[in-house]
Amino acid sequence: MSIGTADCHRDVISVESVSFSYQQKNVLSNVSFNVKERDFIGLIGTNGAGKTTMLRMIVGLLKPTSGEIRIFGEPISQFKEWNRIGYVPQKNALNPLFPATVKEVVLSGLVGKRKWFGAHSREDYNKCDDALMAMGVEDLADKRIGQLSGGQQQRVFLARALINNPSLLILDEPTVGIDHETQESFFHMIKHMHQHHNMTFLMVSHDMEMIKGYLGEQPASTAGKLNFYIRHSHETQDCVEQNLAHSLKHLRAQMASAKEGK
């Protein structure tokens, strides 16, 4: 029996020579990159570089013209566990009259799991409260979504993405159209989540200041007009710890079985 090592370098997203063209125009050609567990990837590029296109392909809203995308090791067409992914789209023009409360919007993040009509369970409401609390917008729960400011709405959408406790969070320019101060606190929150939760981040952003401040001055890799800034999160240390824990567990099991054998 061999002592296996804990697998802590899993690929969360792998993009292999993906190209995308739209009406005979090449938007992306031959892009490859990997996102490992607990990485924080910042995706930067000029307008029209294909950042949003890349994200939309990763979440399955667009199909690559060629190449392959795998999520958690599975080809995207076969991927089923969408509740492991939280996606916060670019701020969309929300109809201010839309009759939905903040709570209803956040609860809608659970929809993939629901099969049958019924009131949400106690557990659902608790999850919703937790997500709202984590974003600091719990006092807005019963407000209509259209009455909120842009920054508040963005927090609500982040709360919706978080309600499933996803292992991968994909953010598309989460702070566009939000004032500087709110942006700061939003990034602060995201950094905190990255450092303290077992979550992988992929974020498109215009905010070079934030990206460079957290992910380093130079892009780790480039592909066409896309620049990838990466921060690995205590990965090596984690791996050592995980391997150690794994070996210890194995050892204990062996000792236990040896005892029983006597």
Partner 1 sequence: MIGITAPLIGIFLVLRRLSMIGDTLSHAAIAGVALGFVIGDFPIIFGLLFSLLASFAIEKLRKSYKSYAELSLAIIMSGSIALASIFFTLGRDLSMDANSFLFGFIYTLTATDLWAMFAVTVAVLIIVGRHLHGLFLITFDEEAASVSGLPVSYYNVMISVLTALVISISIKIVGGLLVSALLTIPAACSLLLARSFKQSIITVVIVGELAVIAGLLIAGVWNLAAGGTIVLVLIAMLLLILLGRNIVSRVA
Q: Which residues bind partner 1 (CB under 8 A)?
A: 59-61, 80, 82-83, 85, 87, 89, 92, 97-101, 103-105, 107-112, 114, 116-117, 142, 144, 160
For partner 1, the closer CB: 84 or 246: 84
For partner 1, the closer CB: 62 or 220: 62
Minimum distance, C-beta of residue 205 to partner 1, in the bound complex (Å): 19
For partner 1, the closer CB: 156 or 210: 156
DSSP string, 157-198: HHHHHHTT--SEEEEESTTTT--HHHHHHHHHHHHHHHHHSS
Spatial distance between the Cα atoms of 19 and 32, rounded to a whole number of angstroms: 9
For partner 1, the closer CB: 65 or 108: 108
Least Cα distance to 194 among 228, 157, 233 occurs for 233
Minimum distance, C-beta of residue 38 to partner 1, in the bound complex (Å): 21
Q: How many CB atoms lie within 10 A of CB 184?
A: 15
Minimum distance, C-beta of residue 80 to partner 1, in the bound complex (Å): 7
Minimum distance, C-beta of residue 57 to partner 1, in the bound complex (Å): 12
Minimum distance, C-beta of residue 97 to partner 1, in the bound complex (Å): 5
User: Using DSSP, how many helices (H) and how many strands (E) does the chain show?
Assistant: 7, 10
Q: Are strands 226-231 and 221-223 parallel, antiparallel or unpaired?
A: antiparallel
Spatial distance between the Cα atoms of 11 and 82, rounded to a whole number of angstroms: 16
Side by side, the strands of the sheet bearing 74-75 are: 25-36, 11-22, 66-71, 74-75
For partner 1, the closer CB: 87 or 186: 87
